[in-house]
């Protein structure tokens, strides 16, 4: 089904009651009611749901350039990629639309009647999921659509079908496929005519456990399509843009992260790794703010870096297909050993920076018994590597040849949860 997210309900969203009326005990209630989850589990089952991951930027911009996506017949061309990499959007060739987020989206034909019907029928976008769906698990599916400016007709026939390897038996890519029944379908009569704003289409379904692929397209017969003419034309056709596709477990617990201790001046990553679907579902707040439906969020993302100067409690509100969940995390400021910490932190040197294949970590004070492990994160907060740290003459070396050019965060993890972090650059 399609529609806007459910309105915020003070009765169902119990956090408001806790904060407004139980100011002394809300942290305890959060700890006892909310479940911690692993940050490494699959959240959005759709691979490359934002259409950002390309094989290269060389034209033509057809489906063999887009990682994890293809036509329903993987050997044939069925849709176009719009991406800043190709410098083809916004532009007259494909009108003037920008992505819902990021750098790209895709375009395909969902209705093609008259003479057009004998040349090219419909586009079907096929995605290889990150993992097969779980038996009897209920999922929330959401994607955003937009009508191409030059399309003479808007239509309601847009759906998402989840299937198994039997899809491999389909040996054509642009013939009308009406024998597949999409698990998530735009509401009949909800004709997509907006050429400016991205319209969400979403719904829920219970998986059988055999679903390995997602196909987005028009699965409705011509006689049952409801269409509206929006431009004068002798042709009957409708091109649809698609962006930000996600399939997430409906009952996914909210996750703010594990409580942790840091020193003054250090930073820590909260929440989950960013991804399409879960980013839009999360809003973050910092207590003691009283959270109401109109309280501005400090960020809208699955996870982000914070650098508090005092012990702070952060709250994440997660809404997936109307189901709201909450979680909290406390970042404690360790006041013990601040003087020693500041000495160590200010003493840390990374060189060369920018680096190429080797990065040196150097102190002038003895830290051999202070720091045992090192972690490297990318700019999204994703952990790329964790390894033991060995100092020799107050210097340690780490290999960086597998890192691409860009900005990274290095964290030294020591005893009593203390960490020291530095940013470094790879530039070859």
Geometric angle at alpha carbon 409, from 300 and 259, rounded to 5°: 60
Kindly report the length of the chain.
428
Same domain as 285, residue 234: no
Please check whether residues 245 and 258 belong to one and the same domain. Answer: no
Whether 125 and 204 map to the same domain: the answer is: yes
Q: What percent of the chain has pLDDT over 70?
A: 80
The tokens of 302 are what? 């699955």
**Is 54 among the domain residues?**
no
Among 202, 230, 249, give the residue marking a domain's end: 249
pLDDT (average), residues 320-333: 93
Q: What is the largest CA-CA distance in the chain?
A: 80
**Residue 393's CATH number:** 2.60.40.3080
Cβ atoms < 10 Å from Cβ of 11: 7
Final residue of a domain: which of 197, 224, 249? 249
Give the domain CATH number at 275.
Answer: 2.60.40.10
245/375 same-domain check: no
Q: What is the pLDDT of residues 212-259, one digit of tens each?
A: 999 999 999 989 999 999 999 888 999 999 999 999 999 999 999 988
Are 92 and 228 in a shared domain? yes
Domain containing 297: what range? Answer: 15-37+254-333
Report CA dihedral (249, 250, 253, 254) to the nearest 10 degrees. Answer: 100
- The whole-number pLDDT of residue 319 equals 97
Confidence of residue 38 (pLDDT cuts 50, 70, 90): very low
Look at residue 97 in the predicted model and tell me its pLDDT.
87
Main-chain phi, psi angles of 340, to 5 degrees: -65, -40
Reading the block at residue 54, the tokens are: 């390309």
Q: Is residue 389 part of a domain?
A: yes
Q: What is the pLDDT of residue 8?
A: 30
pLDDT (0 to 100) of residue 277: 96
Distance between CA 320 and CA 96 in Å, rounded? 30
Q: Give a yes or no: residue 210 inside a domain.
A: yes
Q: Is the pLDDT of residue 16 over 50?
A: no
- For the chain, what is the mean pLDDT? 83
pLDDT digits (tens, 9 = 90+) for 115-173: 555 555 788 989 999 999 999 999 999 999 999 998 999 999 999 999 998 888 887 66
Residue 159: name the closest of 121, 205, 118, 113 by CA.
205
Q: By percentage, how much of the chain surpasses pLDDT 90?
A: 52
Give, as one character, the DSSP assignment of residue 32.
H
């Amino acid at each position: 089904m399609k529609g806007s997210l459910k309105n915020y309900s003070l009765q169902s969203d119990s956090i408001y009651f806790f904060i407004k009326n139980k100011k002394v005990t809300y942290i305890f209630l959060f700890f006892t009611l909310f479940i911690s989850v692993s940050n490494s589990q699959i959240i959005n089952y759709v691979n490359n749901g934002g259409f950002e991951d390309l094989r290269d930027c060389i034209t033509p911009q057809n489906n063999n350039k887009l990682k994890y996506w293809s036509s329903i017949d993987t050997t044939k061309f069925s849709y176009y990629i719009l991406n800043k990499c190709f410098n083809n959007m916004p532009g007259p060739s494909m009108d003037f639309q920008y992505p819902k987020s990021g750098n790209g989206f895709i375009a395909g034909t969902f209705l093609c009647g008259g003479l057009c019907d004998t040349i090219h029928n419909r586009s079907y976008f096929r995605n290889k999921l990150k993992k097969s769906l779980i038996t009897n698990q209920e999922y929330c599916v959401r994607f955003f659509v937009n009508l191409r400016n030059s399309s003479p007709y808007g239509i309601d026939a847009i759906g998402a079908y989840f299937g198994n390897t039997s899809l491999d038996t389909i040996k054509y890519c642009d013939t009308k496929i009406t024998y597949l029944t999409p698990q998530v379908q735009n509401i009949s009569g909800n004709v997509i005519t907006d050429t400016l704003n991205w319209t969400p289409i979403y719904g829920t379904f219970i998986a059988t456990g055999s679903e390995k692929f997602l196909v987005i397209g028009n699965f409705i017969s011509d006689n049952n399509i409801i269409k509206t003419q929006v431009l004068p034309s002798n042709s009957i056709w409708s091109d649809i843009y698609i962006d930000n596709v996600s399939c997430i477990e409906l009952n996914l617990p909210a996750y703010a992260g594990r409580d942790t201790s840091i020193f003054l001046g250090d930073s820590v990553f909260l929440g989950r790794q960013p991804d399409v679907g879960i980013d839009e579902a999360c809003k973050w707040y910092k207590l003691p703010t009283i959270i109401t439906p109109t309280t501005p969020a400090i960020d809208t993302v699955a996870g982000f870096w914070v650098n508090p100067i005092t012990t702070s409690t952060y709250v994440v509100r997660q809404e997936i297909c109307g189901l709201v969940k909450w979680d909290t995390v406390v970042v404690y400021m360790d006041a013990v050993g601040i003087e020693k910490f500041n000495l160590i932190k200010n003493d840390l040197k990374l060189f060369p920076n920018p680096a190429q294949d080797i990065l040196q970590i150097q102190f002038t004070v003895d830290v051999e018994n202070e720091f045992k492990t090192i972690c490297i994160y990318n700019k999204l907060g994703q952990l790329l590597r964790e390894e033991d740290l060995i100092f020799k003459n107050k210097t340690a070396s780490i290999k960086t040849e597998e890192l691409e050019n860009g900005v990274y965060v290095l964290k030294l993890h020591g005893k009593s949860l203390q960490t020291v972090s530095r940013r470094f650059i790879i530039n070859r």
